[in-house]
Chains A and B, each alone.
Chain A
Amino acid sequence: MLEDEWLKLRFKAGNRDALRRIYEKYRDRLLTLAMALLNDSHAAEDVLHDVFVTFAQSANGFGLRGSLKGYLATCVANRAKDRLRGRKRRPDSLDAEVDTACDSDGPAARILSTEQSQRVSAALAQLPHEQREAVALHLNAAMTFRQIARHQGISVSTAKGRYRYGLQKLRSILNGRLEP
């Protein structure tokens, strides 16, 4: 989209307003993606913090090719994956017990959302990470299966398969739990 092209140019030129606009434009979309991947508002905030801090420092290295939205979504997905790997490496930690929801003070303390969104996020957390990522990147970040395949280092058909299996599981988890 032209606005993003303009924002990228301004951002690369060192314009402060451009960073602010990018932040405001994508903050909640990326937060939603992080919640879809992590179902933990603390972890989602940490991921977004790291993504925006790194992005803010990346003007020289940041390329103009490709979509800004896709770039930021991929950054969130990578950070979320790193975070989940970290949990697995620390099996004694509290985080490891709950790969799903682990908000001690509840997400409502830091995030605005509907009960439905929380239910969906909790259901997504029950999927294997690769399937959850395929579903979230396709539906919450509007990434194509080709982009998801590249991100996950797999073939397009495998990406579609992960998405399909993920959706089937999600369907059975959510069946009867959603508001009509």
Chain B
Amino acid sequence: MRPAEEIENVVKQMSFAARSEMDQRLWAGASEAREQFIKTRPAPSRNWERNTIMRSPITKFAVAAAVIAAVLVGVTLFRNSGSGVVWAEVAEKIEASRGVIYRERRGTDGPHGLAIKSDYGITYLSPTQYRSEGFKDGQCWITMYDNRATAKRVVLLHAQKQYVREDITLTDEEDRRHANYQDPTYWVRKFMACEYTKLTRREIDGVLCEGIETTDPAFYSDENPSIESLIARLWVSIETGYPVLLEGEFHGESNTNMTFDQFQWDAEFDASVFEPIIPTDYEPM
């Protein structure tokens, strides 16, 4: 007779996966229902979001940031005629942003070591603090906290249950590059300093955007002087004047791409967002 634990394991290991045709049917049903719903639903209520903050401690800080951003979007709507993006004001606007949350994806076929192990990262960035979580196969495998005011960094590796505390030396070339890589404001400034062409208006995630495109090598030369060609695009919401999508492909000895999206601008963070939490069973590396 097999022990109960073995039966439990056998049931746990049971696995079924949809074949391509089933997958297509299922996704078609879900996406069609979604589109139908979006067409017919009333405008989302901001009151709902505000109430939810108080009930959901886990999402409190993120929702709070979203609500603040939403309110500011509303204010901006009154001020902006919607006639188009004033490109000279974009960098100014985001530099005034108190904080930002965004998703970041990077890929490279070269030896570059930054963030390539993650499918994507979610970053919370204030003028002096930074927290980023890297996800692989849906699991958060790394959390990084940088406090530039105190020049301290904490890195947690969740699978290994290990952590590192170290000093940040922003004078160091690699650290300076790292700091820049994480900051979408840096890339927007770079756009403004390069030659660019305007793109046709496009809707991204339901937001009407205007875009610019650059192939100017100066855009990436500080990061990689041996770059041979590049194409980068910045899409900004016509309504809010905030970036919605920033994407770039860089070709040279190695090929690299980066995408920043799902921005929530002018987010005001609770201090706890940047407070490293090291679980008691984690060991120092």
Q: List 24 A-B contacts (CB under 8 A).
A: A2-B122, A3-B138, A5-B58, A5-B62, A9-B63, A14-B38, A17-B262, A19-B31, A23-B27, A32-B16, A35-B14, A45-B22, A56-B33, A59-B37, A60-B41, A64-B55, A110-B18, A117-B16, A120-B10, A120-B11, A121-B14, A167-B8, A170-B7, A175-B1
In this assembly, does A25 line the interface, its C-beta being within 8 Å of a C-beta of chain B? yes
Decide: A6 and B62 in contact? CB cutoff 8 A.
yes
- Given A28-B16, A53-B30: A2 in contact with B11 (beta carbons within 8 A): no
Verify B2–A64 contact, CB threshold 8 A: no
B residues adjacent to A (C-beta < 8 A)? 1-2, 4, 7-8, 10-19, 21-23, 25-27, 29-31, 33-34, 36-38, 41-42, 44, 48-49, 52, 55-56, 58-59, 62-63, 66, 122, 133, 135, 138-140, 205-206, 262
Contact call A16/B56, Cβ cutoff below 8 A: no
Task: Give the shortest distance, in Å, between A8 (CB) and chain B (any CB).
Answer: 7
Provide the residues of chain B in CB contact with A16, threshold 8 Å.
31, 34, 205-206
Report if A104 contacts B (CB, 8 A).
Answer: no
Contact of B10 among A49, A54, A116 (CB under 8 A): A116
Instruction: Tell me the complex Cα distance, A146–B23, Å.
Output: 32
Interface size class of A (residues with CB under 8 A): 35 or more
18 extra interchain contacts, Cβ-Cβ under 8 A, other than A60-B48, A112-B19? A2-B122, A5-B58, A6-B122, A19-B31, A32-B14, A53-B30, A60-B41, A60-B42, A64-B52, A65-B56, A110-B19, A111-B19, A113-B17, A114-B15, A117-B13, A120-B10, A120-B14, A140-B12
Contacts of A107 in B (CB 8 A): 16
B179 CB to nearest chain A CB (Å): 23
Tell me whether B30 and A23 are in contact (CB under 8 A): yes
Residues A113 and B122 in contact in the complex (CB < 8 Å), given A9-B63, A13-B44, A59-B37: no
Footprint of B on A, CB under 8 Å?
1-3, 5-6, 8-10, 12-17, 19-20, 23, 25, 27-28, 31-32, 35-36, 41, 44-45, 48-49, 52-57, 59-60, 64-65, 107, 109-114, 116-117, 120-121, 124, 135-136, 139-140, 167-168, 170-172, 174-175, 178
